Structure 1
Amino acid sequence: MEDLLCKIRDCKVCKDHLPLGPRPIIEANKNSKVVLISQAPGRVVHESGVAWKDQSGKKLREWLGVDEETFYDPNNFAILPMGFCYPGKAKTGDLPPRKECAPLWHDEVWNELENVDLKIIIGSYAANYYLGKRSKLTEKVENYTDHLPDFWPLPHPSPVNRFWRMKNPWFEEEVVPELRDKIAEILS
């Protein structure tokens, strides 16, 4: 696994398309219990080099019911974005993750993981890739039990999505407590 992570972190496949250059962000080890499959690191994460070390990460840890120490232990959580590098700024939020990363690296990462209990799908890019495009993300999140025991779809925890959360209060009232219970069970 360490050799693979080094190869991914040295990847420069998209270098000509990245406004801040390549800085692939990934965390995992063969014993990771939960895999967080997200879109791509934002600018703040690109600058720090630490996955989810931003406001989105704070909200995600809140949803998962874990502290930073638990979150950043790769025995607990692997971080597997759809795009490993910051793709650049869009009109609202960031550009979509680069399409090269997931097909190039995900299968190799999955082959190294030996102890995964749950794959958490974060946002529409990951949901469409892993769960198909037949339904919208809200429907996938609302019907999360249809995807268990393997996948648990979530909206992206970005502050940009605060209006989605306001419009869908059932998510934090009903789904988040179930998710916290599942994470606590896995990590106990």
Structure 2
Amino acid sequence: MKQVLHIKNMVCNRCIKVVKEELEKLDIQIEAIELGKVDVSESLTQKQTEEVRSVLNDNGFELIDDKKSQLIDRIKTIIIEKIHYSKEDKEPVNFSDVIASDVNHDYSYISKLFSSVEGITIEKYIINQKIERVKELLVYGELTLNEISCQLGYSSVQHLSNQFKKVTGLTPSHFKKLKENKRKPLDEV
């Protein structure tokens, strides 16, 4: 019987690759894999579950068992996908509508749950993810601040700059001049 594994800290395509390789080493048949979720062909035994948990932990991931943690992880995955991996032109995203629709829960419930478990609001989490994406794009140096602002759906360069300074303590231009890398891994944002 098919089983769905929910995995915390799967935030990029390399994460998917690592999880896939590790599960295949354990001879676990994968039907589908995406950020935060793996569909396996058969229910895992207790021994297999512990082996999966161990190998995931060794690689910086975590098997999520309870429904609330799964919901929180799904919310984070939606936000990360929209901000870091969405290829479409960035119109301002109404994250509350997108998240509520995707997880099929009332946004006020989701918001309260997220804040109580994570100690941060969804809105603040979104801002932190956007700022990490801005840092990444500034380090690459391929886009102007105006292009970055448009790509991330900011209303203006000034709004982006103000938010960047509030979060980092630096202006985007000062950050870009710094030689040391001040970016954080996505699972630590």
Q: TM-score, normalised by structure 2?
A: 0.28
The structure that has the greater radius of gyration is 2
The structure with the greater share of residues assigned to helix is 2
Q: TM-score, normalised by structure 1?
A: 0.28
Bigger RCO (CA 8 Å, 6+ sep): 1
